[in-house]
Structure formats: structure tokens, C-alpha cells
Structure 1
Amino acid sequence: MNAGLSARLDRVSTGGRYLVVPMDHGITLGAVKGLVDLESTVDSITRGGADAVLTQKGVAPRVHPNKNGKGYIVHLNGSSVIGPDEEDKRRTGSVEAALRAGADAVSFHINVGSDHEPDQLTELGDLTEEAHRLGVPVLAMSYARGPGVDEHDAESLSHAVRIAEELGADVVKTAYSGDADSFERVCAATSLPVVIAGGSRGTDLETARMVRGAMDAGAAGVSMGRSIFQHDEPEAITRAVSAIIHDDADVDDAVEAAGLGLEA
């Protein structure tokens, strides 16, 4: 790993662990709760302990003044829920454009098992070469999604994370399989740091238990969007998640210390 790549990975993590909050959902979902006043949300979650935030390049001017010195990742493909096929993620920028937007790293989404898998694999392979020429790390969001594919099946997720490594990614994000025992197999399928997606928002305890289970299975952290940026108290839930990832806190201690209720 070259010095630039290593230095930039350090800017989006702490001690090899990752608490990334993706907020690229404006393309997918529109201006939903938490993204209308993007500035306040970025400020809250970075004060709460996020290592990095992730957006599309166009909103970078709204991110930088509010991220409290934390890392910044630019996402480079996307699709919308009102388009013809949400799984058909299309390229939205170059690595050079991401660097001009102030990025420390870039990310790219692939749907393994979908009809668009062949094109997305090619694009991810090309992107990692482009990024590494410039010393920029790549977070691959590698999901098991397609006809007849169980998005939380450990074997499918294991295949998805291994594909990310084979194509040159530096960190891989995927769905959580639902329990620590099965997710151990996912983490063992790659030498890359594995971070889990948050998915749709659950209760605070459900979120904390999911993070604790992933960390116990060998994950390196989370890349968690809606569960954090749509929370009524984004700073508090970020503090709880950060305590589990960075301080190895147990679930109840993390939630209580963040000032959140212990609802079931």
C-alpha cells in the first residue's frame, strides 16, 4: 500500500475501525428527513464520533464547513427509486472529480446477483485502478441482490465481499447476516476490513445490538446511513455506535451513556 493510500484511509477511520455515515440517499430517495438541512446533520454526527461522512460530489460545499475535521468520502454511482430499475447503479463521477470535491476516499455500489452485475463488476475493477493510480482508497458497497438472492444469506454475502477484494477494493461494505455466528463466515471470506450497512431504521437497541454482533464477528465497523441521519438525535445515536466500535462498549452501556432510552 502506497503512502497516499494509507494516509487517506487513516483520515476515514480510527485505528483501523470505521464509523462512516453515508448520506448519498438524496439521489435515491430525494430530500428526505436528515438530508434537507444537511449541514446540521453533518455537524451533529461528526460531533458524535463519526470517522467520515459520505455523499455525492455535488453537495461537497455543504459538507466541508460542517464536518469538524472528519473524513469525507465521495460516492461515484447511483440510481433513484422513481427510475426504471433501482439496482441499475450508474457512474456519477470520476476519481479526479471526487478529489476536486475534497474527498479522502471514494465509494462504489455493486449488486452481486442482479442483472447489472456484469457491468458493475467491470466498472468497479476500472474504478479501483483509476483510484489507486492517484493514491485514493475505494470503499466497495458490495451487496447480494438479485432475482432469487437472499440479501442476508451468509454464503451470498461472503461471495459479495470476496468479489470486492478480487477487484481491488480497500474496504468492503455489505449487509449484516443477522447474527454474529453467520457473519463470522462473511468476515473470514476476505482479508479486507468489512463494514456493515444499517438498512432501514430500527430501535436504538436493535441498532446497537446489530453493531455489537458485527464487531463480535470480526467486522471493522459500520457504514450506516438512515439509522443515524434520520434519527431524532443523530449525535446521540452516533455516540452509541461509536462507543461500541471504538471503545468496545457493550450494548446497554453504549445506549445509556449516549442518553438514549433502553426500549426493546
Structure 2
Amino acid sequence: MFNTHKVRMNRLLNNGKCLDVAIDHGVCNEPSFLNGLSDMAGVVDQLVAANPDAIQMNYGQADLLQNRNGKDKPALVLRTDMGNPYNPERHRSMWAVLQNEDDPINTALQMDAACVVVNLFMLPDEPDLFRQCVKNIGKVRNACDRVGMPLMIEPLVMQPHDGRGGYMVDGDREKIVTLVRLAREMGADIIKADPTTEAEDFHEVVEAARCPVLVRGGGKEDLAAVFGKAEQLLKQGAHGMVYGRNIYQHPDPSRVVKALMAMIHDGVSADVAMGVYQQG
């Protein structure tokens, strides 16, 4: 039997490595995330020219990538869910829902995605949100199994909402390792995980996953810090990175992509990557 799961994984991962540029921020319903994403057609043009391994998008924008002629373009990672934990205010009701409850990956098949991604939120004092995510993952996993679609799970451990402008990432090693292990138990083919506070602990995340692990980039940072963190995490066994704002909010995203691709696929250091970036 033809292994469509393996075919899609091969399209996503280049020799087991991947740079996935996330521009699926519209479903977060958070205005600050949209800086740099007002002209989606222009953003996609820039990213295709930069040629990362994958672009992470939502169904309503994926046509901008998949309607392009030719075969030489990044793979599509399609977001299947949406939720409200990213807003600065704490909502009375926290939720995470699939965009298509009845057939959660039908749109991924229509758009010829290489992979689908779904959240696993763990927020303090929000057990129902966690339960919703577990239910979502179960539905998506079953649908993926029927058609050989790889599943990326995004386990997100967040700190209490204490007025700092929304839920912030909790880099606690034990919490991240435990949630990543749960994601693997639920059938993740790929895991998109937050970095641990101490980068030297990240190998424990990779060991718990027992599948490719891509590191979630998070908020906008200085490029030297981005490259330095990436170097540390790749040395700990990460298979690649998922960056959004650090790429699409940059004046020249292609230069950032080129530098990160050199780190992920060629193993260059942060200092060399900065040189690649500066050379353009």
C-alpha cells in the first residue's frame, strides 16, 4: 500500500529538518499579531522567494500559496483550530475549537497540505480548555489516520494571567516535558514545543517526544538573540524551528530565512548565521 503519510512527511522535512514560517496569526483575533501581515499576498510572495521548508497558514489564506504555479515552493502546514488564550484580557470563557468539527482535515486535503497542526493549551485554572484541546486532538488524529496525514501537535504551557498583557509562556522544564510526552501519547507525528528556560534542558523535550521536534519561536526578539537561542536548541537535538513574528515583521524576511536555513540544514553557528544575514 502506498504510504501517503511518509510522502507528506518527506515533503515537510528535508533530511529530517525543517524551518516552518508561521503566518497563521489571524485566527488568534489579536491585533498586535497582525503587524506585518496586512498584505498577505505580498508576505507570501516574499516567503516563497525566501524558500523556507514550510509555511504555516489557515485555510482562508492558503490559496495564496497553493494556487501558485510550479512545484518549487514551500510545503503547506495547515492550522485546524482556533482559540482565545492570546488576547491581553482574560476572558470569562476560554475556548479552543476546530474550524471544521465534522471533517477537521478535509480542507487540508483540498489544499494539498503536507501536515496539519492543532493546539494543546495548558493554562492555570483552565481545565475545561485543556479538555477541549484533548477532544480536538482525538478528532484530528482519527481523521489523519484515515488518509495518511501527518499531525503536528503544539503543546503550550502558559503562566498565570497576572496583568502582564496576556498568558505568557512557561519555560518550566518539567511542565514542558510532561505536556510534550502527553502530545506524543496522543499520537503526534511532529511536535512544536516551546523552549525550556534553560536551553541545555531541551534535550529532555526531544527525548520525551520520540518524533521530530520543532521549536516555537514566540514573540519578536533581537536577531542576535534569535540566532543564539536557535544555536543552543539545535545543539540539544531540535529538528528545526517555527518562527513567525521574528520573520514576517522583519523589513527583509528573506535574509532572516536564509540565515535560519543555514543553521538548521548546514549546522552553522549563530555568528556565521549573522554573517549570512548581513550579506543578504
Q: After TM superposition, is the score higher than 0.5?
A: yes
Deviates more, 1:73-82 or 1:16-25: 73-82
Structure 2 partner of 1:242? 261
Q: Indicate whether 1:75 and 2:62 are aligned.
A: no
Label 1:51 to 1:25 Cα distance change in 2 as closer, same or farther (>3 A). Answer: same
SS state of the match for residue 156, structure 2? strand
Structure 1 partner of 2:165? none
Q: CA–CA distance in 1 between the matches of 2:226 and 2:142?
A: 35
Deviates more, 1:101-110 or 1:87-96: 87-96
Q: CA–CA distance in 2 between the matches of 1:172 and 1:180?
A: 17
Give the Å deviation of 1:110: 1.1
Q: CA–CA distance in 1 between the matches of 2:122 and 2:109?
A: 27
Structure 1 partner of 2:233? 214
Label 1:173 to 1:190 Cα distance change in 2 as closer, same or farther (>3 A). Answer: same
Q: Given the alignment, which residue of 148, 151, 167 partners 1:138?
A: 151
Give the Å deviation of 1:121: 1.1
Label 1:86 to 1:246 Cα distance change in 2 as closer, same or farther (>3 A). Answer: farther
Deviates more, 1:31-40 or 1:221-230: 31-40
Give the Å deviation of 1:245: 0.4
Structure 2 partner of 1:38? 40
Structure 2 partner of 1:12? 12
Aligned pair count? 261
Q: CA–CA distance in 2 between the matches of 1:2 and 1:133?
A: 13
Give the Å deviation of 1:143: 1.0
Give the Å deviation of 1:90: 1.4
Give the Å deviation of 1:122: 2.1
Give the Å deviation of 1:137: 0.4
SS state of the match for residue 72, structure 1? strand
Label 1:202 to 1:185 Cα distance change in 2 as closer, same or farther (>3 A). Answer: same
Q: Given the alignment, which residue of 106, 114, 125 partners 2:138?
A: 125
Give a deviation string over 1:100-153, Cα, whole Å, max 9, x none. Answer: 123221110111354311221122122111112111001111111264997101
Label 1:100 to 1:194 Cα distance change in 2 as closer, same or farther (>3 A). Answer: same
Q: CA–CA distance in 2 between the matches of 1:5 and 1:180?
A: 31
CA RMSD of aligned residues (A): 2.4
Give a deviation string over 1:185-219, Cα, whole Å, max 9, x none. Answer: 21121201111111111011111111111100111
Q: CA–CA distance in 1 between the matches of 2:132 and 2:235?
A: 34
Give the Å deviation of 1:260: 6.7
SS state of the match for residue 209, structure 2? coil
* Equivalences for residues 18-97 of structure 1 within 5 A: 18-28=18-28, 29-30=30-31, 32-65=34-67, 68-80=72-84, 81=87, 84=91, 88-93=95-100, 94-97=104-107
Gap runs ≥5 in structure 2: 162-167
Label 1:145 to 1:85 Cα distance change in 2 as closer, same or farther (>3 A). Answer: farther
Percent pairwise identity: 24
Give the Å deviation of 1:79: 2.6
Alpha carbons 2:169, 2:194 under 8 Å: kept: no
Q: CA–CA distance in 1 between the matches of 2:239 and 2:2?
A: 21
Q: CA–CA distance in 2 between the matches of 1:75 and 1:208?
A: 26
- The aligned amino acid for 1:55 is M
Label 1:46 to 1:211 Cα distance change in 2 as closer, same or farther (>3 A). Answer: farther
Structure 2 partner of 1:189? 208
